[in-house]
Amino acid sequence: GQSLGVHLLDISWYTESMRAGHPVVITDRHKLQLNTYVMELHFLDEDGRGVAFRRAAAVLKALPAQVTSMSQLRGLPCLGEHSLRVIKDVLENGESSEVESTKQSERFKALKILTGIFGVGAKTADRWIREGIYNLQQLRDSGHALNQAQKAGLEHYNDLNQPVTKAEANAIGEIVQKAVISVLPGSQIALTGGFRRGKLTGHDVDFLITHPEEGREVGLMSKVVSWLESQGFLLYQKTTRNSYLESKDGPARPASNMDRFERCFSIFKLTKGEEQGTTQPEKNGVQTMDNRLWRAVRVDLVVSPISQFAFAVLGWTGSKLFERELRRWAGHEKDMSLSSHAVFDNKQNRYLRATSEEEIFAYLGLEYIPPSERNA
Ligand code: GTP
Ligand code: MN
Ligand code: MN
């Protein structure tokens, strides 16, 4: 690998500490600092501070030892004035008064509840709050016209805010596998997202679909979705068309990080107990309060042509922050534009082909970083 600039989060700094034999320790205390304190501030983010906090959090997360004094943080990248103030408060007082008061504010609580609805982002939530809507009941009573996604999000609110387990992800994987094989034999699926990074739970399950013969993947998504629908597996789906082939400016317009694969945001109806081939045991013969036999699970499907598959896998494995930093590294350190479709070398003025993630890391001058180390 290359040496790194301090501006980087950092991928190589991170891997170097791994290589030096430091385990990346994420103690409960770190989690508290990171996830509870630093991360939650991003809800208040109206001016891009969210990313700054995420970077700061990722730096702390990658430290080989628990932080006990501010002096340990000297010289580290990405820790801005505001993050340092929060960390200092946590170290000195056990908690950050700023974060605590934020978390207790009605506005913050409402933002959390409303953005917990699938299809509702911070902007919409903020607008509703300004209209006096602070919870789901007030939203229902408001008579606001909701779009299809939001309606489904509201309807399945509890399920969708319940973490998806690895077993559930596997069960969904089997269904998706069956769907693609049924509509186009030879098609392949790959688990991406957090589960590919080894996370034990997630907010959704992400899959990439392809076919080893270039071009055969065209039209695949609608067939897969129809199959799933006909089998009663879908509670909601929205498919967006691929704009990649239609664009005249060639593949993966450099500097654009919006990808153009055909994709489907969906909500699956997963039969409970199916995930491990067992049924839920009844307690003393009494059914639990929630006696439904299924739950709703968010699933993302993306179709990629085989020629772009390696880039798509890399781009959809995440984490989001890791992807951001990897693209930044590509641009700043290598003068290359990386997307989920391709990597463009600005110096050679050409696209570089790759059939594996390993090749892409090599182009970027980085040692291969396995998915489990991409949890920044
Ligand atoms: P959880 O789902 O919360 O467990 O985490 P996750 O890391 O799987 O997050 P998520 O499912 O939101 O995203 C998975 C990966 O897909 C991340 O690397 C994202 O960068 C990528 N991704 C999600 N949405 C988009 C999108 O609209 N465009 C592109 N290009 N990538 C996306
Ligand atoms: Mn995911
Ligand atoms: Mn997703």
Longest dimension (CA), the chain: 70
Q: How far is it, in rounded angstroms, from Cα 139 to Cα 345?
A: 49
Report the separation in Å between the CA atom of 342 and the middle of ligand 2, taken as the mean of its atom positions.
22
The reported pLDDT for the residue numbered 35 is 39
Query: Is the beta carbon of 325 within 6 A of some atom in ligand 1?
Result: no
* Residue 24: partners with Cβ closer than 8 Å, 6 or more residues away: 14, 17, 18, 61, 62, 63, 64
Whole-number pLDDT of residue 332: 85
ipTM: 0.97
Nearest bound ligand to CA 197? 1
In the prediction, which pLDDT does 50 show? 60
pLDDT at 2: 28
Helix axes 220-230, 166-183, angle to 10 degrees: 110
Q: Tens digit of pLDDT for each residue in 60-82? A: 766 766 677 888 888 777 788 87
Q: Which residue has the higher pLDDT, 249 or 361?
A: 361
Q: How confident is the model over 180-201, as pLDDT tens digits?
A: 999 999 999 999 999 999 999 9
Q: Closest Cα to residue 267, out of 138, 161, 112, 110?
A: 161
Cis peptide preceding 3, ω within 30 of 0 = no
Q: How far is the CA of 317 from the centre of ligand 1 (A)?
A: 7
Indicate whether 40 pLDDT > 60: no
Quick one: residue 171, left, alpha or beta (phi over 0 = left, psi -120 to 50 = alpha)?
alpha
Quick count: other Cβ atoms within 10 Å of Cβ 178? 14
Q: What is the mean pLDDT of residues 309-330?
A: 90
Q: What integer pLDDT is reported at residue 264 of this predicted model?
A: 97
pLDDT of residue 132: 96
- Average pLDDT value for residue range 19-46: 40
In this model, does residue 271 exceed pLDDT 90? Answer: yes
Q: Of all atoms in ligand 1, which is nearest to the CA of residue 318?
A: 18
**Is the CB of residue 371 below 6 angstroms from any atom belonging to ligand 1?**
no
Q: pLDDT tens across 201-252, in order?
A: 999 999 999 999 999 999 999 999 999 999 999 999 999 976 654 444 444 4
Which pLDDT score is estimated for 64?
A: 65
Q: Is 340 near ligand 1, meaning CB less than 6 Å away?
A: yes
Segment among 169-173, 178-182, 319-323 with least mean pLDDT: 319-323
CA 215/CA 212 separation, integer angstroms: 9
204 is catalytic: yes
Ligand 3 centroid from CA 91, angstroms: 34
Indicate if 300 belongs to the active site.
yes
pLDDT given at position 285: 52
Closest residue by CA, ligand 1 atom 24 = 316
Tens-place pLDDT, residues 108-145? 888 889 989 999 988 899 899 999 999 999 999 999 99
**What pTM was estimated for this model as a whole?**
0.81
- CA pair distance 139, 272, nearest whole angstrom: 30
Which of 21-25, 144-148, 367-371 shows the highest mean pLDDT?
144-148
Q: Mean pLDDT of all residues in the chain?
A: 80
Pairing of strands 294-303, 205-210: parallel
Q: What is the band of 104 on the pLDDT scale with cuts at 50, 70, 90?
A: confident
Give the per-residue pLDDT at 6: 24
Q: Find the angle CA(246)-CA(352)-CA(357) to the nearest 5 degrees.
A: 100
Among 10, 300, 335, 345, which one carries the catalytic annotation? 300
Q: Which residues surround ligand 3, an ion (CB under 5 A)?
A: 204, 206, 300
